[in-house]
Amino acid sequence: MSDLPPKIPVGRCPICGKQAVEQHRPFCSRRCALIDFGRWIGGNYRMPVAENDDEEETPAADDEEPD
């Protein structure tokens, strides 16, 4: 048996679609990894949230301080 861990299959780069490489997985290059990082840090991947004003007015049971 080999002492090396089993290789995980490498798929396609989520940015450009080229074959990903192990060094930059799941991306094909450092460039694509930095593009993804820039999108992430810029907030492009945030999830939409429905604002609810009622939640701010009513304190939750966990927020109450004991007397």
Cα 5-11-16 angle, rounded to 5 deg = 140
What's the pLDDT tens digit per position in 3-57? 766 666 678 999 999 999 999 999 999 999 999 999 999 999 898 888 876 655 5
Looking at residue 13, what DSSP letter applies?
-
Q: What is the pLDDT of residue 51?
A: 81
For the entire predicted model, the pTM comes to 0.57
Q: Which domains does the chain have, with CATH numbers?
A: 10-44 (3.30.50.10)
Q: What is the pLDDT of residue 36?
A: 96
Q: What is the pLDDT of residue 38?
A: 96
Q: What is the pLDDT of residue 55?
A: 57
Tell me the helix, strand and coil percentages in the chain, rounded to 5: 35, 5, 65
Phi/psi of residue 54, nearest 5 degrees = -65, -30
